[in-house]
């Protein structure tokens, strides 16, 4: 008989933090509410907090000591969403995607606009055996005409789903990448003594091209960088073949389609996990990218890697992660930032 992982020793404060972050709306380009929520959580722990011109929240923790480096840790706070392109005479709103939105996960879904309006995604009649496209979908806000429709061209919404606690596993519409923001916040709180000057970047507009991390990396100019993001899994029926699964520990990225992690950074991360007896997995992601690419290409180049949280059903309204993987990701990140970094 397969045993369900224990939920008895869970950190209720961490669960409350995750719920707060995943339920705060913030599609790419509209991150003001989630940025304020993160700032509130870290204000008593960071030495300096600022927001740059693009909207990245940057928190400095500690000062560089002998043997220390300037380290950038980036977790993006934006999420996928939709933008209105047209409202017809009957008040139905057409839209385009912000980030990687699949039509298959949209139909019947509920959305929340940044102005507080709620709506439901409907679909035109489809021919038999045909898949929907975004052009066939529309948002119904309950309006009777274009004149009384509460949304206009350019208005942005995200998907609306409540946080779901399944015990060993947690589900939300924006685990990508709010779960990594939670990991970074927990690391800031736990990082008592580090030889490094650490810049925690809660980046914006990752879902539309790693834009926030690109500007932040130029501003921070780190000696080494780590993205913290989710990654796909290969542990559900008839899915992609991938050696990453829930409940087996955080993943250490080797490569994805946006960058190849610096082998020295990978080795450093593996050594730290082994030394702390933290379970880990090695990740080779065939498609997808993270802020690691943006950090790696800053200035003359930066040694960069990525700490990944395994996640099922990415870019859907019900993304799922393992509570144990999240806790171990926090432990590994704190261990990495607490020791000298020798990349050779």
The answer to whether the CB of 82 falls within 8 A of the CB of 156 is yes
Q: What is the pLDDT of residue 127?
A: 87
pLDDT of 7 reads 53
Specify whether the CB–CB gap between 78 and 27 falls below 8 A: yes
- Shared domain check, 71 and 90: no
264 assigned to some structural domain: yes
Give the domain CATH number at 107: 2.40.30.40
- Check residue 260 and report its DSSP letter: B
Query: Could you tell me the maximum CA-CA distance found in the chain, to the nearest angstrom?
Result: 68
Q: Are residues 233 and 195 in the same domain?
A: yes
Given the residues 206, 207, 319, 327, the one annotated as active site: 206
pLDDT tens by residue, 9-39: 889 999 999 999 999 999 999 999 999 999 9
d(CA 283, CA 243): 7
pLDDT over threshold 60, residue 135: yes
What does pLDDT average to over the chain?
95
Residues 154 and 275 in one domain: no
Percentage above 70 pLDDT, the chain:
97
Annotated catalytic, 124? Answer: no
82-115 tens-digit pLDDT:
999 999 999 999 999 999 999 999 999 999 999 9
Tell whether 142 and 46 lie within a shared domain: no
Domain interval for residue 229: 12-79+173-338
Domain membership of residue 240 (yes or no) is: yes
pTM here is 0.94
């Amino acid at each position: 008989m397969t045993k369900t992982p224990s939920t008895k020793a869970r950190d209720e404060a961490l669960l409350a933090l995750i719920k707060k972050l995943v339920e705060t709306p913030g599609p790419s380009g509209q991150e003001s509410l989630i940025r304020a929520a993160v700032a509130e959580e870290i204000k008593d722990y960071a030495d300096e907090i600022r927001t740059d011109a693009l909207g990245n929240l940057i928190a400095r923790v500690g000062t560089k000591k002998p043997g220390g480096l300037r380290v950038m840790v980036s977790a993006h706070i934006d999420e996928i969403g939709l933008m209105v392109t047209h409202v017809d005479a009957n008040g139905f709103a057409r839209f385009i995607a912000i980030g990687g939105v699949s039509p298959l996960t949209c139909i019947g879904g509920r959305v929340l606009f940044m102005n507080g309006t709620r709506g439901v995604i409907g679909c035109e009649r489809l021919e038999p055996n045909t898949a929907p496209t975004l052009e066939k979908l529309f948002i119904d806000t309950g309006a009777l005409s274009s004149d009384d429709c509460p949304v206009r061209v350019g208005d942005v919404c995200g998907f609306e789903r409540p946080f779901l606690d399944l015990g060993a596993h947690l589900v939300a519409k924006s685990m990508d990448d709010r779960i990594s923001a939670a990991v970074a916040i927990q690391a800031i709180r736990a990082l008592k003594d580090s030889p490094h000057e650490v810049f925690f970047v809660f980046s914006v507009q990752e879902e539309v091209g790693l834009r926030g991390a690109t500007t932040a990396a130029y501003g921070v100019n780190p000696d080494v960088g780590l993205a913290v993001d989710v990654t796909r899994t290969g542990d559900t029926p008839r899915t992609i073949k991938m050696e990453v699964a829930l409940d087996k520990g955080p993943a250490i990225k080797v490569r994805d389609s946006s960058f190849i992690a610096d082998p020295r950074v990978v080795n450093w991360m593996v050594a730290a996990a082994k030394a702390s007896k933290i379970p880990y997995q090695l990740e080779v992601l065939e498609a997808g990218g993270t802020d690691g690419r943006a950090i790696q290409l800053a200035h003359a180049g930066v040694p960069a890697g990525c700490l990944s949280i395994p996640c099922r059903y990415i870019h859907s309204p019900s993304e799922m992660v393992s509570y144990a993987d999240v806790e171990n990701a926090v432990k590994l990140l704190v261990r990495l930032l607490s020791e000298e970094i020798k990349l050779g």
